[in-house]
Amino acid sequence: MSSLSADQKQALDKQAVNNFREYLQIPSVHPDINYDECVEFLEKQAKSLSLPIKVVTVKPGKPIVIITWLGKEPSLPTILLNSHMDVVPVFEDKWTYKPFSAHVDDKGNIYARGSQDMKCVGIQYLEAIRRLKIQGVTLKRTIHVSFVPDEEIGGVEGMKMFVETNDFKDLNVGFALDEGMASENNEYALFYAERCIWQMRFHCPGNPGHGSLLLENTAGEKVTYLLNKLYEFRKQEQQKLKDNPSWTIGDVTTVNLTQLQGGVQANVIPPELVIVVDCRIPVTTDLKSWEETLNRWCKEAGQGVYIEYEQKQLQIPATKIDCSNPYWIAFKRATDELGLKLKTQVFPGGTDSRYIREVGLPAIGFSPMNNTPILLHDNDEYLNQTMFLKGIEYYCKILTRVCNLEDRTG
């Protein structure tokens, strides 16, 4: 492998930042995204890398883009590098700079929606491949770089559907990398599992009537009982975090009231009130026991209270991060050689990694950003260009290690 000259590296750095900013300037923002501009941009990137590109359509208007770098031993299980093209909505009046301008300030911070979540990682994959190719590197295992739609709205018509197709099975994936998040300290966050998501509507029926009366069995009383139980439980989970400094939010169950529905006017006691609760459950929780607790609270709250589930995910086994997983060993060896300090943890939200793990494949979430404010979905989301470029160097080392992993199937 030949090393890059200073002039080559400077030119590649400039190209990488320009590509990143161009990608950020595509407003692939919910709702009703037209992904055509993203596809055109990625087709241009594939051409510049002299790599084949395939666009798979599982759902009309929801393209899945795959750029492939063939390995020396294409029969080996491949490495999937996944990212999503979509970004969440913005409140433009709360931003210092236009959220799709990719403005660079005098500190080198690149401001744009998607700069952390997660257009940075998609470009870092491609730019790492560009550098390896220029240096004459060839890897044992084939790499598939996938760009998927709709992750920010659950990935149901993106990765969730894609993993069930023959197009996905034909990729022969052995291991996947996907998104992580920034870390505010010197560590790098690494995610090997995710909490499962339960989103619940608690229906609380009761006796309706005039607002001046003291009726029995009202909807409001039942709502009050449930909220007291939920917030008492919430305080217990907060205390667990305080009592266990090494834990992260992914190690506890979170419950949050997100909607209150019901009622017609101020002087009418309604026949029903509904509270909507978002709940994220760690891999260590017994789901049957948790559901029994919820059902008991409903029964205690009063007559007729029941739960309607908007989402009720099963727990998906965590990716092993021990000697039984050779992909993890290769990844960890690379990050050790780079001197990176990893903080292994359970992802607090949901990513497309859960669908990859659900079909039995190991997946790790990793976005190489440390000493960086966590700004995904926030106003003034930014990533410093030095951190962005550093991530490309990291992926060069990581891909070399992981993609040169010997066949262990024998």
Tokens of 121: 């990682």
The CA distances from residue 195 to 36, 219, 238, 250, 301, in Å, are 33, 31, 16, 7, 27
CA–CA distance from 93 to each of 48, 90, 98, 124, 184 (Å)?
A: 37, 9, 9, 30, 26
CA pair distance 141, 143, nearest whole angstrom = 6
Helices within 257-375 (DSSP H only): 287-301, 326-338, 353-358
Residues with active-site annotation = 86, 151
Alpha carbon of 143 to those of 172, 175, 231, 290, 294: distances in Å? 10, 10, 46, 40, 45
Count of residues in the chain? 410
376 close to 111: Cβ distance less than 8 angstroms: no
**Token digits for 212?**
């001046």
- Cα–Cα distance between 363 and 356 in angstroms, integer? 7
